[in-house]
Amino acid sequence: MKKKILVLCTGNSCRSQMAHGYLEQMGGDLVEVYSAGVETHGLNPGAVAIMAEDGLDIAHHTSNHVDDYRHIAFDHVITVCDHARERCPWFPTEAMMHHENFPDPAKAKGTETEVKQAFEHTRNLIKSWCSAFVQQHIQQS
């Protein structure tokens, strides 16, 4: 049976979308991945672009609110920023809760190159974390 995973961040525009893409790719047929935010900000073009550079197309993802998924019995709920962890509304679940606070590349300032580097840095952190998560919680279960 597929493991159902929900990835949460503030606006469901960058970090949760990146994690969604990697968890889907790395978990394959073993997972069913959803992502949402405590708010919805729309898909960030910088996140789409930086993921495409790593061979993942997340352009078809949508920005969803956590309330959209209250009816799903998740196996894992992952918060990828402190703000979402603090504001995440309670909903009935027996899911394992996981948390990692990744920097928000959407808040990066500076030149185009510096902003791109911020997106790349966050992407690489998320990719590494997702790889370890899948090995520990999906492939070994």
Tokens of 26: 């790395």
Candidate list 6, 8, 33, 88, residue with the active-site label = 88
Rounded Cα–Cα distance for residues 63 and 79 (Å): 15
The per-type count for the chain, helices as H runs and strands as E runs, is 4, 4
Tokens of 93: 């679940």
Number of neighbouring beta carbons within 10 Å of residue 9: 31
Candidate list 81, 106, 118, 138, residue with the active-site label = 81
Candidate list 5, 6, 9, 58, residue with the active-site label = 9
Q: Is 81 a catalytic residue?
A: yes
Rounded Cα–Cα distance for residues 128 and 4 (Å): 20
Q: Is 88 a catalytic residue?
A: yes
Give the three-class secondary structure for 57.
Answer: coil
CA 41 to each of CA 10, 38, 113, 114, 116: distance values in angstroms, whole numbers, following the listed order:
9, 10, 23, 22, 19
Active site members: 9, 81, 88
